[in-house]
């Protein structure tokens, strides 16, 4: 097996566990027990029906979901769900749905929902530059809302909810695309959860949608078939040709979580160690590295930070790429640096990045002639070699 010469810190697609990659290497030639490449197995085969059944069961087991939850594997990413969930839950309603606006991706969901019906923004973090999450007392949720929608982890700004929002009598809908299957919670309090795969659980091409039966029963049945949750549920996610390869990868990742990691509590402990190590590097840098998110709201998936100047950030990114750290450039909407440390990224990779950051900081300070403890940047255009 070829050893990669770059470590993936990208916001997505994220890193996959090494054991999963090894199994995929074999499956590209022939899936064990099948004798065909994973790229050529029919989605109508008994084997693939078994993949879907096991995958549904694995997700339920990991999340502690009862059998009245339907687990679907759809296409179109979270972006498709911005529209599809509103078509099914909001269209024709007179009371507005509650939306919490905490960053880039929750902002993307809003205009799509407004195409289908009325929306009320419960809290808007724009005034604070989306650097923090709302406190409970800052939000007043409507008991008449058709549903409450929020994003559990904002990948761009590096913000993450570690609590469940809303009123239990109002259906909760949550976009968990970037922290899905990364920590345990009382997931049965949600009416609907959706997450595209390319952060924590697989490659691009498949989106997990979990919907409670009582909510599904209240959805209309007249929408176009592909956009109708009833149709997708009845077909067990094989209404049309599904992304067989991507779904097989997700299956392998859920097996890894269950059999090697030992469940979401253990995964959360690993993710916490990774995040703490990286945030400690920021906090101990005497202001050389500047964290973006408010400390209580820091994401354990996406560590977003800045350096003192854009020029120094550019030098950091160039040196990091040369040192084998890929995908650290911040999102185009805010710039800066973003280290995404999803489930598949191991702790040694984070340790290596921290070592690089410490070395870069020391070299930058020495080059600037400021000495230890100074956050001064090199002069514009001055190279920092590591």
- pLDDT for position 386: 35
Calculate the CA 118 to chain-centre distance.
27
230/263 Cα distance (integer angstroms): 30
What percent of the chain has pLDDT above 90? 85
Residue 383 has pLDDT above 80, yes or no: no
Choice between 44 and 115, residue whose per-residue pLDDT is larger:
115
216/70 Cα distance (integer angstroms): 9
Choice between 263 and 374, residue whose per-residue pLDDT is larger:
263
- pLDDT for position 2: 47
Residue-wise pLDDT for 18-31, tens only, equals: 999 999 999 999 89
Tell me the pLDDT band of 259, cut-offs 50, 70 and 90.
very high
Spell 298-316 as b/e; 16+ CB within 10 A means b: bbbbbbbbbbbeeebbebb
Residue 63 has pLDDT above 70, yes or no: yes
Residue 373 has pLDDT above 70, yes or no: no
Tell me the pLDDT band of 3, cut-offs 50, 70 and 90.
low
Residue 248 has pLDDT above 50, yes or no: yes
Average pLDDT of the chain to the nearest whole number: 92
DSSP result, 250-283: HHHHHHIIIIII-SHHHHHHHHHHHHHHHHHHHH
DSSP result, 67-84: TTEEEEEESSHHHHHHHH
For the segment 116-126, the average pLDDT, to the nearest whole number, is 97
For the segment 48-75, the average pLDDT, to the nearest whole number, is 96
Question: What residues act catalytically?
Answer: 105, 175, 199
DSSP structural state of residue 38: G
- pLDDT for position 381: 33
Tell me the pLDDT band of 149, cut-offs 50, 70 and 90.
very high
Lowest mean pLDDT among 164-178, 212-226, 294-308: 212-226
Please give the structure tokens belonging to residue 240.
């049309």
Map out the domains of the chain with their CATH numbers. 18-261 (3.40.640.10), 263-368 (3.90.1150.10)
């Amino acid at each position: 097996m070829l050893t990669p010469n770059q470590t993936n810190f990208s916001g997505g697609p994220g890193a996959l566990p090494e054991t999963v990659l090894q199994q995929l290497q074999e499956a590209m030639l022939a899936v064990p027990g099948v004798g065909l490449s994973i790229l050529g197995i029919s989605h109508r085969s008994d084997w693939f029906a078994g993949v879907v059944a096991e995958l549904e069961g694995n997700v339920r087991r990991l999340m502690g979901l009862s059998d009245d939850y339907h687990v679907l594997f759809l296409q179109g990413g979270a972006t498709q769900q911005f529209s599809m969930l509103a078509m099914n839950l909001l269209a024709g309603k007179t009371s507005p749905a509650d939306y919490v606006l905490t960053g880039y991706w929750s902002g993307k969901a809003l205009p799509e929902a407004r195409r289908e019906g009325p929306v009320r923004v419960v809290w808007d973090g724009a005034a604070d530059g989306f650097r923090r999450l709302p406190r409970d007392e800052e939000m007043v949720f409507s008991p008449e809302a058709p549903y409450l929608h929020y994003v559990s982890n904002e990948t761009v700004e590096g913000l993450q909810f570690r609590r469940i929002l809303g009123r239990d009598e109002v259906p909760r809908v949550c976009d968990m695309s970037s922290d899905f299957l990364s920590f345990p919670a009382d997931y049965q309090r949600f009416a609907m959860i959706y997450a595209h795969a390319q952060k924590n659980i697989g490659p691009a091409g498949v989106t997990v949608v979990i919907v409670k039966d009582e909510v599904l029963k209240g959805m209309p049945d007249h929408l176009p078939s592909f956009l109708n949750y009833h149709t997708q549920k009845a077909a067990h996610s094989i209404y049309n040709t599904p992304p067989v390869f991507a779904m097989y990868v997700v299956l392998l990742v859920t097996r890894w979580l269950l059999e090697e990691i030992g469940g979401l509590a253990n995964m959360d402990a690993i993710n916490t160690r990774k995040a703490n190590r990286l945030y400690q590097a920021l906090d101990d840098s005497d202001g050389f590295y500047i964290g973006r998110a408010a400390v209580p709201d820091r994401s354990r998936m996406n560590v977003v930070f800045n350096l003192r100047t854009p020029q120094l950030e550019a030098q950091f990114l160039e040196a990091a790429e040369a040192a084998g750290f890929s995908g650290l450039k911040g999102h185009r909407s805010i710039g800066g640096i973003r280290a995404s440390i999803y489930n598949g990224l191991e702790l040694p990779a984070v340790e290596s990045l921290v070592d690089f950051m410490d070395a870069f900081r020391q070299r930058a300070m020495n080059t600037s002639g400021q000495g230890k403890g100074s956050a001064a940047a090199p002069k514009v255009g001055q190279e920092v070699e590591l």
